[in-house]
Amino acid sequence: MKYKQKIDIIINSCLFLVGILTIILGIIKYSDIKTIFISIMFLYSILNLAQYLMTKSSKDIEGLLTFVVSLATAIVDYNLVFNSKVLCISIMVWVSLMSVIKFIKTDYYNDRKDKMWKLRIITLIVFIISGILTSLCFNYSSNVQILVLGYFFMIHSILELIDPITKYLISK
Residue-wise pLDDT for 20-69, tens only, equals 999 999 888 887 888 899 999 999 999 999 999 998 887 778 889 999 99
pLDDT at residue 163, as a whole number? 86
| Other beta carbons within 10 Å of 91 | 22
Which residue in 154, 168, 167 sits closest to 126, CA to CA? 154
% of the chain exceeding 70 in pLDDT:
95
Sequence-distant (6+) residues with CB within 8 A of 9 are 161, 164, 165
Q: What is the CA radius of gyration of the chain?
A: 16
Residue-wise pLDDT for 119-137, tens only, equals 888 899 999 999 988 888 7
For residue 9, pLDDT over 70 is answered with yes
When pLDDT is cut at 50, 70 and 90, the band that residue 109 belongs to is low
| Other beta carbons within 10 Å of 129 | 12
In this structure, the chain runs to a length of 172
